[in-house]
């Protein structure tokens, strides 16, 4: 993805959510990683170029990190808006208003369920709970969110 395309996507997310997407600190970079992952899960074309692995704080793409580290300071704020499906924006605004811990929880459940199709809900949540006990209070809420938006492979 070009720098201009990534900056435009992040600018759009910032505008719609009221949150910063400048990659200037860890919390904002986590927000970027999980947001792009959820855009990819929805089939948003520009996000599909990134591969995500399972890392300490949920799905993470080294290529995405490399791309946002190349952005000049202020590039996101100065970028024009990207064309994005309204459904994708609604989903992300809903997730973003719940905070980074929620984003991490939802993205982690989504990644694990995608890689373990056919597993039962209880198995998926138990795995995430075991791997990341701090996310336990948000598991049910994140599951319901993913179900609402049709982002649980094999659970439609």
User: For residue 79, what is the DSSP state?
Assistant: S
pTM: 0.93
How many CB atoms are located within 10 Å of the residue 133 CB? 9
Tokens of 124: 């998926």
pLDDT tens by residue, the chain, 156 residues: 678 899 999 999 999 999 999 999 999 999 999 999 999 999 999 999 999 999 889 999 999 999 999 999 999 999 999 999 999 999 999 999 999 999 999 999 999 999 988 899 999 999 999 999 999 999 999 999 999 999 997 664
The model's pLDDT over 17-54, given as tens digits with 9 standing for 90+, comes to: 999 999 999 999 999 999 999 999 999 999 999 999 99
User: From its phi and psi, is residue 74 left (phi > 0), alpha (psi between -120 and 50) or beta?
Assistant: left
Percent of the chain with pLDDT over 70: 97
The set of residues, in sequence order, having a beta carbon less than 8 Å from that of 145 and lying 6+ positions away, is 94, 95, 98, 102, 106
> CA 70 → CA 1, 23, 67, 126, distances in Å?
12, 10, 5, 38
How many CB atoms are located within 10 Å of the residue 102 CB? 20
d(CA 53, CA 73): 27
């Amino acid at each position: 993805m070009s720098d201009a395309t990534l900056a435009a996507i992040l600018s759009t997310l910032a505008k719609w959510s009221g949150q910063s997407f400048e990659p200037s600190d860890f919390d904002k970079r986590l927000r970027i990683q999980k947001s792009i992952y959820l855009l990819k899960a929805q089939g948003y074309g520009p996000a599909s170029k990134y591969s995500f692995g399972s890392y300490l704080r949920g799905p993470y793409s080294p290529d995405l990190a490399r791309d946002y580290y190349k952005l000049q300071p202020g590039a996101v704020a100065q970028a024009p808006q990207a064309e994005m499906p309204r459904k994708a924006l609604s989903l992300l605004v809903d997730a973003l208003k719940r905070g980074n811990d929620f984003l991490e929880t939802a993205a982690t459940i989504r990644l694990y369920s995608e890689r373990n199709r056919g597993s039962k809900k209880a198995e998926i949540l138990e795995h995430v709970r075991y791997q990341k006990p701090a996310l336990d209070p948000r598991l049910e809420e994140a599951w319901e969110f993913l179900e609402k938006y049709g982002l649980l492979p094999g659970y439609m």
